[in-house]
Structure 1
């Protein structure tokens, strides 16, 4: 999945597949995680948020199932 770099102290890059509603996040710490059944609006909110890390913690972290892929 192609990811877009983001300006964040926590997240390095973010990708999204609208067909499968899979959100992929690469963290500064090096881990890459996929979050499942994430609506497009949540992805758009993440990308337009003033703080990507804060949005992630408030709206994604404990709300969706995930797996580490890298």
Structure 2
């Protein structure tokens, strides 16, 4: 999965697998978490948001099943 480097709040990189509907997020502490069942529209809104950290907290963090990868 390609990761897009970002500098938004605690987010450092984000990536998305459209086939599996998996959002991968790397945080500033190097923790890597995958969120399952994320629609492509949510990914689009997150990746183009002017306030990515706020969008993530409000629309992803507690809305989708998370699995820590690292």
TM-score by length of 1: 0.95
1:58 aligns with 2:58: yes
Deviation at 1:9, TM superposition (A): 2.4
Q: Distance in 2 between matches of 1:7 and 1:50?
A: 11
Q: What 5-or-longer segments of structure 2 have no aligned partner?
A: none
> 3-state SS of the aligned residue for 1:55?
helix
Give the paired residue count.
70
Q: Distance in 2 between matches of 1:30 and 1:9?
A: 13
1:28 aligns with 2:28: yes
1:17 aligns with 2:10: no
Show CA shifts across 1:10-65 (max 9, x none). Answer: 10000000000000000011100000000000000001111111000000011000
Higher share of residues assigned strand: 2
Q: What 5-or-longer segments of structure 1 have no aligned partner?
A: none
RMSD across aligned C-alpha pairs, in angstroms? Answer: 0.7
